[in-house]
């Protein structure tokens, strides 16, 4: 029979005697750091945020409104500005749904099937993160430009991709396609297949299982990915700059139009249009914060179930 000393010690360690417990050193907690250390760390963090986040955001709105509200409204309602806004919204409205379809298909494939080349597909999803957007734009010029691989065929059939809206859509879709997939893959892995198999056993077909079981389980992750994908689609500059041709009033998105105004020394107008993109960024941050909490809450039950299955 174990002695009285061989019991759970105040340190939570089984089998550590009370005599030996006093010899075990406990690492100091972060909250036990000296007040001056916490003050310095907090000051550094807040100073960094103020210098690289708050100050630039404030500068955008200050410069946008420097010449008054009338100039600000005139800048964002200018015909070329309206054209840039329309094109940006059009491109995002095409690229984001395409990436939702791809993200769902990629996540379903990677989490529900084992096949040769699975790791390669998983790696290729991250390709836009590794390739510069400018290089991505050059790739599309090489493929669909006048001197590109398919340029002659496209010209013979009077199809224009580069320096036109289709090229902007292609470039935007390429640089944004990982965002939805990368949000869905871990959620589908955590959800597992038990509920789907049960639905199939009860007579549901594939689409019914997907719409009533799979999609509800990942809806918040899907929405989170859509928000991020939309923000990147509207704010992309590098790839779009290469394939657009900078035709004012036709192929300039909002980021490109901001650059044109700035290069023309129309500083108030450029910051006015930039403020719209800044508002989009702030709205994206708020949406991410709200939806991110829902994603964590929805994934916790599945994570607990996964732990219980492994323990069993």
Shared domain for 238 and 276, answered yes or no, is: yes
Q: Which residue, 13, 39, 64, sits at the end of a domain? A: 64
Q: What is the pLDDT of residue 258?
A: 94
Judge whether 10 lies within some domain.
no
Q: What is the pLDDT of residue 150?
A: 93
User: For residues 119 and 170, what is the distance between their CA atoms, to the nearest angstrom?
Assistant: 25
What is the domain range of residue 161?
A: 68-311
Same domain? 174 vs 303:
yes
C-beta separation of 238 from 134 below 8 A: yes
Residue 188 within any structural domain of the chain? yes
Q: What is the pLDDT of residue 311?
A: 46
DSSP-based three-state secondary structure for 156: helix
State how far the Cα of 66 lies from the Cα of 227, in Å rounded to an integer.
Answer: 31
CA distance 226 to 216: 15
> Concatenated DSSP letters for 81-112?
HHHHHHHHHHHHHHHHHHHHHHHHHHHHHHHH
DSSP 213: I
- 41 and 185 share one domain: no
CATH value at residue 303:
1.10.3720.10
Q: How many domains does the chain have?
A: 2
- Tell me, yes or no, whether 56 and 130 share the same domain: no
In a domain, 244, yes or no: yes
My answer on whether 121 and 41 are in the same domain is no
- CB-CB contact of 48 with 59 (8 Å): no
Q: Are residues 148 and 39 in the same domain?
A: no
- 134 domain residue, yes or no: yes
Tell me: do 30 and 120 sit in the same domain: no
Other Cβ atoms within 10 Å of 177 Cβ, number = 22
Q: How far apart are CA 22 and CA 126, in angstroms?
A: 51
- CA-CA distance, 271 to 280, in Å (whole number)? 14
In the chain, which residue ranges form alpha helices assigned H by DSSP?
18-21, 35-49, 55-64, 69-76, 79-112, 118-124, 127-130, 133-144, 151-156, 165-176, 178-191, 194-201, 206-209, 215-217, 219-235, 238-244, 254-263, 267-311
State whether 211 and 267 are in the same domain.
yes
B/e letters for 21-53, b = 16+ CB within 10 Å, e = fewer, are eeeeeeeeeeeeeeeeeeeeeeeeeeeeeeeee
User: What does each of the 312 residues of the chain score in pLDDT, given as a tens digit?
Assistant: 444 444 444 444 444 444 454 455 555 555 567 888 888 999 999 999 999 888 988 999 999 999 999 999 999 999 999 999 999 999 999 999 999 999 999 999 999 888 888 899 899 999 898 888 999 999 999 999 988 899 899 999 999 999 999 999 999 999 998 999 999 999 898 888 888 888 888 888 888 888 888 888 888 889 989 999 999 999 999 999 999 988 888 999 999 999 999 999 999 999 999 999 999 988 888 888 888 777 776 665 555 554 444 444
Q: Are residues 288 and 302 in the same domain?
A: yes
Contact 64, 272 (CB under 8 A): yes
pLDDT at residue number 27: 57
Q: Is residue 17 part of a domain?
A: no
- 285/227 Cα distance (integer angstroms): 9
Residue after which a domain boundary falls, among 64, 96, 121: 64
Per the domain annotation, does 195 fall within a domain? yes
DSSP letter for 30, please.
G
Q: Tell me, what's the pLDDT at 260?
A: 93
Residue 49 and residue 197 in one domain? no
126 shares a domain with 51: no
Does 111 lie in the same domain as 30?
no
Domain-located, residue 240 = yes
Asked if the structure places residue 16 within a domain, the reply is no
Where is the domain boundary, 64, 85, 114?
64
Query: What is the pLDDT, as a whole number, of residue 190?
Result: 87
């Amino acid at each position: 029979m174990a002695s009285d000393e061989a019991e759970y010690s105040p340190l939570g360690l089984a089998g550590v005697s009370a005599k030996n417990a006093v010899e075990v050193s406990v690492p100091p907690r972060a909250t036990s750091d000296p007040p001056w250390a916490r003050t310095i760390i907090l000051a550094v963090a807040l100073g960094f945020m103020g210098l690289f986040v708050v100050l630039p955001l404030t500068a955008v709105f200050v410069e946008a409104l420097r010449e008054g509200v009338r100039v600000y409204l005139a800048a964002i309602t200018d015909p070329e500005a309206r054209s840039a806004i329309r094109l940006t919204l059009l491109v995002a409205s095409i690229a984001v749904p395409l990436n939702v379809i791809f993200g769902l298909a990629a996540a379903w494939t990677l989490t529900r099937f084992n096949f040769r080349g699975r790791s390669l597909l998983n790696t290729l999803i991250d390709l836009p993160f590794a390739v510069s957007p400018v290089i991505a734009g050059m790739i599309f010029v090489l493929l669909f430009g006048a001197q590109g691989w398919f340029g002659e065929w496209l010209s013979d059939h009077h199809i224009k991709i580069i320096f036109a809206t289709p090229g902007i859509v292609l470039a935007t879709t390429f640089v944004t396609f990982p965002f939805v997939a990368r949000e869905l893959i871990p959620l589908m892995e955590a959800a597992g297949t038990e509920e789907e198999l049960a639905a199939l056993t009860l007579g549901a077909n594939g689409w019914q299982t997907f719409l009533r079981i799979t999609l509800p389980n990942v809806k918040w992750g899907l929405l989170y990915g859509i928000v991020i994908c939309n923000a990147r689609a509207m704010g992309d500059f590098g790839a779009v700059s290469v394939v657009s041709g900078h035709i004012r009033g036709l192929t300039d998105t909002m980021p490109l139009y901001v650059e044109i105004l700035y290069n023309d020394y129309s500083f108030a107008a450029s910051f006015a249009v930039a403020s719209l993109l800044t508002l989009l960024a702030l709205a994206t941050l708020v949406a991410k914060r709200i939806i991110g909490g829902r994603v964590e809450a929805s994934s916790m039950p599945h994570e607990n179930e996964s732990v219980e299955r492994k323990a069993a």
